[in-house]
A and B are shown apart, each in its own frame.
Chain A
Amino acid sequence: MGLYGPPNGGKTTLANRICQDWLGEDMGSVSNVAHETREIQIKEQVNIKSKDGKELSFNLVDTPGIATKIDYEDFMKAGLKEKEAKTRAKEATKGVIDSIKWLDEMDAVVVVLDATQDPYSQVNITIIGNLQARKIPVLLVANKVDLRKAKIKKIQSAFPQYDVIGISAKYGKYIDKFYEKLFEFVG
């Protein structure tokens, strides 16, 4: 099961939440600077249990955020030195390509969107459209619902054909509902 989405939507935060809840360990580092995850990360054999005793086992794949532009100067604005920013940009471009290549390897995908951001971006539309074309089941997560600006309904109206579950991966808010939904989704 892959976690896909634009940068800074909270994919790794959700991956860490899942891994902490069921394996007792983190999956990757998180940062406010975009493109923190620049390589595909895999956690094998994640086993989760439902309240009624069902079990679900999957390999969790955390992917770099998909973007159409990467500017090293944006990383400098976020406080990185020029050399560091250029290296990050180079790695980030490779990360985007890897994320796209890995689409074909997925059996199911959770698309993680920042609920405080406008969902009508072409990156979101392209990711979801590609998954639909490949007939890969998609669950939409509206993350960061702990923030006042979060608007789950906007994501629902942008992608009315999909289930949208609002969570805060950072604080674990509604994470039980997310797990319940996972059972319905891939079960």
Chain B
Amino acid sequence: MIDLLTLHFIPYSEIEDLGSARRVKKILDAVKENKIVLLEGRLKKEEETDLIAITMEEITAKFKGIEIATIDPEKKDVTLGKKIKHGFTNMLLGDRKGFTIIGPAAVVKKIKQDPDKIELFTKETRKKK
């Protein structure tokens, strides 16, 4: 039973200059300490698969894996004007947009996401937004 949840914020500036392997390691190291990582921005697509693959390599009876979700602010925007606007924002900000939540599966039971919100369910079934 875990009574205290630790939210570990990682600003994008902390991972900006790291290579993919070190980014993934930084996140996974924090998650393995039973912290819930709130990452500013998002990983690259191939880094997400690297994160899953490395997580699988490190699974033990104690570390059961991760729960992950990303909020992408431009998902809902479908009009051409907004697409052009976000295309320009993408050039400036790249992967800095949005947020990614990564938590240890032993603590986070489920992360439910839709384009508007992320709901995080802990093992004690407490609900947070």
Contact = CB atoms under 8 A, between A and B. Distances in A.
Nearest to A86: B61
B56 A103 contact: no
Contacts of A130: 45-46, 48-49
Interface in A72-119: 72, 86, 89, 93-94, 96-97, 100-101, 103, 118
B57 interface: yes
A68 interface: yes
Interface residues of A, number: 28
Given A69-B66, A123-B52, A132-B45, 19 more contacts: A68-B52, A68-B55, A69-B59, A69-B67, A71-B65, A71-B105, A89-B59, A93-B56, A93-B59, A96-B53, A97-B53, A100-B53, A120-B114, A122-B69, A122-B70, A126-B48, A126-B49, A126-B52, A130-B49
Contact of A68 (B70, B105, B112, B115): B105
Interface of B: 45-46, 48-49, 52-53, 55-57, 59, 61, 64-70, 78, 105, 111-115
Contacts of B69: 122
A49 B6 CA distance: 57
A147 interface: no
Majority SS at the chain B contact face = mixed
Contact of B61 (A72, A126, A132, A160): A72
A59 B45 CA distance: 26
Contacts of B49: 100, 103, 126, 130
A71 B111 contact: no
CB-CB nearest 9 A-B residue pairs: A69-B65, A69-B105, A93-B56, A71-B64, A133-B45, A126-B48, A122-B68, A129-B45, A96-B56
A72 B52 CA distance: 17
Contacts of B53: 96-97, 100-101
Contacts of B105: 68-69, 71
A35 B55 CA distance: 16
